[in-house]
Structure 1
Amino acid sequence: MLNKQLNKSLRSLFALMVLVMGLGLGSVMSASPVQASDQQSSQQQAKAQTSEADLWRAVKSGETGYTTAEGVEAGVLINVAGNQGKELRNQYITPIMALAVTGVFGVFLLFYLVNGPSKLSHGFSGKMVVRWSKADLWIHWIMAISCLVLMFTGLTIMLGKHVVQELLGPDIWAPLIYGSKTVHDWAGPIFIVSWIVCVVKWMPLQTFKMYDLKWFLVVGGYINFGPFKGKHPDSGFANAGEKMWFWTLTLFGLFISVSGIMLVLPGLDLPREASMAALLIHSISAVILIAFTIVHIWMATVLSEGGMECMKSGYCDENWAIQHHNLWYDEIKANGSLRYKD
């Protein structure tokens, strides 16, 4: 009887152990696919994150992808050269432009206050000598006015957002910047045509001579104090300073004209790198021309007594010609081409 009960108890215990082992094995078997699935999902997620990071690194580095869109560089999502060019313009060129405008103007203003204008040693003679033709005056003023318009609108475009945008507010700033861009685009062709005529017509008068070196050494005779006072160097039709201005205008006028055409004609369909290079060349050329234009205006107006009359009427006072352009005066007097105003 005891043995039967013991056997029954052992069989019950064995059945319970089998049940427990079965349940445990089932749990393990059911958990394995879940764990495998979770592990696979984690691997896929990590791989997806790595692939996405690689993708964005490639995009940010400017790599080309595939797109159904047509056009130049349609497969480039982020153009590295464009971003770098924008940073270069904003961080360096724009501050240099502001310095060129305020710095050069300030230096010449200080020089004028300390030195004063270059006076005629023998005063005005009252006899006016023909220096420029009517055609020369038209060429000069068309180019000068278009150049000044381009300067002011260009400065508004480049510096306006840093200087006046906050002061004016959006209601005034929006039409101002739009108008500046429109006027800038239309004044450009006028400048280019007048610039070409100017370069072709005046180039023969702008060759450098050995005596031009002395002009630079004595600062053109414009200094009214110290060892340079009263020094009037030899000069032909154009002095050395005017020649430097002419060749600066010729070289950087070419750069600014070609780059401006590249920027204003969307039909050219240029790569982003070429467009950004054109914008940087245009800006750098503008900085240089603005600085030299300020110098040219100062020299031709307040620093040279009687100088402005030349480009107003085409005539210059005879004493002015003798003092500032003596070799030219001697030449036209010797060959009989000297003509006075009636």
Structure 2
Amino acid sequence: MARVSGLVRTGIVALSLWAAGALAPSSAQMTKDGLNPTGANPTANSVNEEFLFKQEPKIGGRVSIPDQKSANLIQPQGREYRAFREDYLPWIGGIAVLGILGLLATFFLLRGRIPLDDPGPDTGKKILRFNSFERFAHWMTATCFIILSLSGLNYIFGKRLLMPLIGPEAFGALAQWAKYAHLYLAWPFMLGIAIMLVVWVRDNIPEKLDWEWIKAGGGLVGRGHPHARRFNAGQKVVFWMVVGFGAAMSVTGLVMMFPFSVTDINGMQVTQVIHSLIGVVFIAGILAHIYIGSIGMEGAYDAMGSGKVDLGWAKSHHDLWVEEQQAKTASGPQVGKRPVSPHQVPAE
């Protein structure tokens, strides 16, 4: 009886296998587009990677350690950031920096160095333009900005331009020290921005006179110089650029300096995009400022060099400010409580 029962079960299994084989479509029965005769796609319901990437901002699992960020396996938005970082940012940075250098070189060839106009050459008399504290704040901020800019440009172009020249070992050491400089010099840079805002904001409030200065070309084109107070319209633009961009760079820099304290990985990447874009535009703007304050205009460097400028230069570029200062010297010191030197007397 047991033997008969076993034979019956064996027969049932064999019959089932034969029926399954008969019903399953053979390779010859599959159509060229991968569909079986019933029209169904056997992989239609399988998980598609790209579809999954579009549905979720990140793909992760579960971990038992406190750092839950380690559960993230794939972060698809990182591909967009990588494309920006590797493909677009070098082009944007190169166009901004090389473009402004090309424009300044062209302007210098066409215009030359802006000379000292009427009332003539150096008068031999000096007027105090910036005191020692103002110059300290300016040069501290400027020095930090230069190093921050160079270390930031190394982040963009270093491995493309510098590493092939000095080798990976030297470049790695240089990049590490550049990172340290970028992190630590950010603090005095932010302090300098705050000091300049407090010290100079009163003299940089826009007014109707600034529009007249802009319409006249600010002395950069044509001859003569329009009326201006302590800061002309061009200098006010630079001031507010430094304050605005400096504040934006400070905020985004602090977010990256303390990662994941404010936002997640997606926010960190967006923050770095903003930081880098503002940075290259900031560098381009400061290059124009450096040009005007050095080789672009005769006598301009003295303002932040010694702090004293020739009275003739001051009357050419900031005539209304000179009138204010001469009115002050009639009854007291020119700046604060500093005594007026014999060379800081008003011109007759």
Q: Provide TM-score, normalisation by structure 1.
A: 0.81
Which of 1 and 2 has greater Rg? 1
Aligned to 2:178: 180
Aligned counterpart in structure 1 of residue 16 of structure 2, from 23, 32, 55: 32
- Contact in 1 for aligned 2:59/2:74 (Cα 8 Å): no
Aligned to 1:310: 303
In the alignment, structure 2 segments of 5+ residues that lack a partner are: 1-9, 25-39, 335-339, 344-348
Distance apart, 1:161 and its partner CA? 2.0
- Contact in 1 for aligned 2:259/2:268 (Cα 8 Å): no
Distance apart, 1:335 and its partner CA? 3.1
Aligned to 1:285: 278
In the alignment, structure 1 segments of 5+ residues that lack a partner are: 1-25, 40-45
1:261 aligns with 2:254: yes
1:91 aligns with 2:84: no
Counting aligned pairs with the same residue, the percent is 26
Aligned counterpart in structure 2 of residue 190 of structure 1, from 166, 188, 213: 188
Q: 2: CA distance between counterparts of 1:152 and 1:221?
A: 31
> Aligned partner of 2:321: which letter?
W
- Contact in 1 for aligned 2:89/2:156 (Cα 8 Å): no
Distance apart, 1:93 and its partner CA? 2.9
Distance apart, 1:115 and its partner CA? 1.2
| 1:138-153 to 2 correspondences below 5 Å | 138-153=136-151
Distance apart, 1:305 and its partner CA? 0.5
Task: From the two aligned structures, give the one with the greater helix fraction.
Answer: 1
Q: 2: CA distance between counterparts of 1:284 and 1:48?
A: 48
| 1:1-342 to 2 correspondences below 5 Å | 30=14, 32-33=16-17, 36=20, 53-54=47-48, 57-59=51-53, 61=55, 62-69=57-64, 70-71=66-67, 73-121=69-117, 122-223=120-221, 228=222, 230-266=223-259, 268=261, 270-336=263-329, 337-338=333-334, 339-340=340-341
> Aligned partner of 1:33: which letter?
L
Distance apart, 1:27 and its partner CA? 8.5
Q: 1: CA distance between counterparts of 2:240 and 2:78?
A: 31
Distance apart, 1:248 and its partner CA? 0.7
Aligned to 1:9: none
- Contact in 2 for aligned 1:235/1:325 (Cα 8 Å): yes
- Contact in 2 for aligned 1:306/1:320 (Cα 8 Å): yes
> Do the aligned partners of residues 107 and 29 (structure 1) sit closer, same or farther apart at CA in structure 2, a change above 3 Å counting?
same
Q: Provide TM-score, normalisation by structure 2.
A: 0.80
Distance apart, 1:55 and its partner CA? 6.0
> Do the aligned partners of residues 72 and 113 (structure 1) sit closer, same or farther apart at CA in structure 2, a change above 3 Å counting?
farther
Distance apart, 1:64 and its partner CA? 4.9
Aligned to 1:18: none
> Aligned partner of 2:225: which letter?
H
Runs of 4+ in structure 1 off by over 6 angstroms are: 46-51
Q: 2: CA distance between counterparts of 1:277 and 1:132?
A: 39
Q: 1: CA distance between counterparts of 2:341 and 2:46?
A: 81
**How many residues were matched structurally?**
308
